Amino acid sequence: MNDAMHDADDGAPTLGELADRELGLTLECPRCQHKQRMFRDALIARHGRNVLVDAVARAAVCTRCRKRGATARIVTPRGLRQPAA
């Protein structure tokens, strides 16, 4: 496991929690605003279900400008609506 990755212990969402809720993950570069939809299941296979989404965002490197670190956005799959409050 990458040193920048670590297990959940502070209540932040993990990759496994995203999978359990069928949610996706998009990362946005703070420098160039490049957005990339991530393959959640591939991230789980590589880093494990207990890795924090924030750790993934911190370790990410933009494929456009090469800046390390990103803003994570948890997203619903296309075609699904958020439950009414």
Mean pLDDT of the chain: 85
| Type of residue at 36 | Q
pLDDT digits (tens, 9 = 90+) for 8-49: 455 689 999 999 999 999 999 999 999 999 999 999 999 999
| Type of residue at 57 | A
Distance CA 62, CA 12 (A): 23
- Local structure of 8: helix, strand or coil: coil
pLDDT at residue 6, rounded to an integer: 45
Contacts of 53 (CB under 8 A, 6+ apart): 12, 13, 14, 15, 18, 25, 72, 74
Nearest to 33 by CA among 73, 64, 77: 64
Using the predicted structure, report yes or no on whether residue 81 has a pLDDT greater than 50: yes
Q: How confident is the model at residue 77 (pLDDT cuts 50, 70, 90)?
A: confident
Specify whether the CB–CB gap between 7 and 19 falls below 8 A.
Answer: no
